Chains A and B, each alone.
Chain A
C-alpha cells in the first residue's frame, strides 16, 4: 500500500496512491497510516481521490485510523470516488467523517 504525505498546506494531507483499499491491502494501509500520523499535525486529511475501490475491510481500516488519532485529533476525508462514496453512504459511516470534495485550501499562515 503506497501513500504520500504533504504538510505544505499547514495540515497533514495523506494521499493514497494505490487504486484500491481491499481485504488484501487493509492491514498494510493501516500500518502505513500509523507511520504517517506520527507527524504531529493537528489536522489530518486522507485524500482518496485515486482510490477507485474500497470494500468493507478497507472501510474498517479507515475507521481504525480515525480511532488511532483520537483523542485530540480527527481524520477528515477528501475526494471520494463514486464507488467509495457509495460504501460510506450505505453503511452510514459518512456520518462520522468530515468529507471534502477536494483537499482543503492551504492555511493562510502555512509556510
Chain B
C-alpha cells in the first residue's frame, strides 16, 4: 500500500443531511483529519459540512445520489477532492460567495455557505465533466 493511502481517507456518502452528518463525523475521527491541530480541524469540519450539504441540497435536489470524498495529507493540512453525479453549478462556475449583509431590519437566514468556504480554503477549483461535478480545495497553513 502506498504511504499516501495509509494516511489519506476515501469515503462515499449518500447525499442527504443525515448521511452527511454521519459521514462527516466518521471523516473527522480518522486520518488525516483526526490528527490536525484544532483550528484546522474546525475549518475542515465546517467547510466539508458546507460543501456536502450544498451538494445534497442543490446538486441532488431532484433526488439523492452518492458523494465521493477523498482526503490527502498536504502541507500540514490536507487536500480534498469531492465528486458527485448531480446537476452542474449554475452557469458552470462556483458562486462568488459574497457575504450577505447583516445590516438592516431583516437579517439574512442563508447565503453564508460559499462565503464560509471561500474564507477558509486555498486552491479552490471546480470542474464539470461527463462524470459529474468535481470540487477540489486545500486547507493548510500555507
Contacts and interface: CB of A to CB of B under 8 A. Distances in A.
A24 B100 CA distance: 23
A37 B42 CA distance: 31
B42 A56 contact: no
B63 to A, nearest CB: 17
Interface stretch (A9-17, A58-66, A103-111): A58-66
Contacts of A92: 99, 102
Contacts of A86: 42, 46
A62 to B, nearest CB: 9
A90 B107 contact: no
B90 interface: no
A23 B102 contact: no
> How would you classify the secondary structure of chain B's contact residues: helix, strand, loop or mixed?
helix
A90 B20 CA distance: 23
Nearest to A94: B102
B35 interface: no
- Per DSSP, are chain A's interface residues mostly helix, strand or loop, or mixed? helix
Contacts of B103: 95
Contact of A93 (B56, B102, B120): B102
Nearest to B18: A24
Interface of B: 17-18, 20-21, 38-39, 42, 45-46, 49-50, 53, 56-57, 99-100, 102-103, 106-110, 112-113, 115-116, 119-120
27 contacts: A22-B17, A22-B21, A22-B49, A22-B53, A23-B57, A24-B18, A25-B21, A53-B45, A55-B46, A55-B53, A56-B112, A57-B53, A60-B110, A64-B109, A67-B106, A67-B107, A82-B38, A82-B42, A83-B46, A87-B116, A90-B116, A91-B99, A91-B102, A91-B116, A92-B102, A93-B107, A95-B102
